[in-house]
Amino acid sequence: MSLLPPKIAKESFKKINVPDELYSMIMLEYKNMSFSEIVDNAQYDSVWSIDTVGGISNTGAKKPYYFLNSLSTELYDECFRTLTPILEEWSGVELEKTWGYGIRSYPKNSILHLHRDRYDTHIISCIIFVDDSANEKWPLDFFDHEFNHHKVSFDHQEMLMYESLCVHGRITPFSGNYYRNMYFHWKPKQWDVEKYKSLKTTFRDVNDFLSFYGKCTH
């Protein structure tokens, strides 16, 4: 039988509001960001049969890319200080912080292909929605442990806590000008990394994911 990810929290994802004080700090720093750093170190992915950067491709573009703005050390540390106990309470396990990304700005026609996060460091995670310029929401496609497909959309000051070894992505091309998120990751302090080394992490599309686990794709 194909290896499945662990079930850690009572529910594999939950959307809540970012605490007011932390959100104010984020938005204060965000106002001065320029998003002048372009990340375009694309590589060909044999599963998706396309060039991607960080699991992202851009429909119609010759080379995929996104923009990035790093966080100050003060804000980075405060995000982990504030968020860690919240994620521990939700997940029910003690966590060790592993990774935090500054604000990613996705351009028009971006697609985030279906994937799981890193099995060694990205086990419990958090997406903070920062801002967008779009006429419609760009949903996160998230598959829970029972293979149910959820389309999760965000409003300002919302964040998503999720088990990041559950398959997720944004498979509808983004139709606006920009979409901006922050990402933070943890692993349980007691984590058997060897157990999940063979976990399949990328899938061509929804049918590929479901059929891999013998689920009906009709």
The predicted-structure confidence for 67-101, as pLDDT tens digits, reads as follows 999 999 999 999 999 999 999 999 999 999 999 98
CB atoms within 10 A of CB 96: 14
pLDDT tens per residue across span 158-177: 999 999 999 999 999 999 99
Do 167 and 209 contact (CB within 8 A), yes or no? yes
State how far the Cα of 70 lies from the Cα of 81, in Å rounded to an integer.
Answer: 18
User: For residues 66 and 103, is the Cβ–Cβ distance under 8 A?
Assistant: no
Q: Where are the beta strands (DSSP E) in the chain?
A: 13-17, 37-39, 43-45, 50-52, 56-58, 66-69, 95-107, 110-115, 124-133, 140-143, 149-152, 158-163, 168-170, 178-188
Whether the CB-CB separation of 8 and 188 falls below 8 Å is answered with yes
Q: What is the mean pLDDT of residues 50-65?
A: 91
Q: Which CATH class is domain 13-212?
A: mainly beta
pTM: 0.95
Token pair, residue 106, equals 């996705």
pLDDT cut 70: percent of the chain above it: 98
91 burial (CB, 10 Å; 0-12 / 13-18 / 19+) is: buried
Closest to 148 (Cα-Cα) out of 10, 2, 13 = 13
Compute the distance between CA of residue 207 and CA of residue 218 in angstroms, rounded to an integer. Answer: 9
pLDDT of residue 217: 61
Q: How confident is the model at residue 218 (pLDDT cuts 50, 70, 90)?
A: low
What is the structure's pLDDT at 44? 92
State in Å, rounded, how far the first CA of the chain is from the last one: 21
Domain limits, the chain: 13-212
Q: Are 95 and 87 in contact (CB under 8 A)?
A: yes
Residues in contact with 5: Cβ distance below 8 Å, sequence separation at least 6, in sequence order:
116, 145, 163, 165, 166, 196, 199
Report the range of poorest mean pLDDT among 28-32, 58-62, 134-138: 58-62
pLDDT at site 2: 86
C-alpha closest to that of 103 among 179, 156, 157, 176:
179
Whole-angstrom Cα Rg for the chain: 17
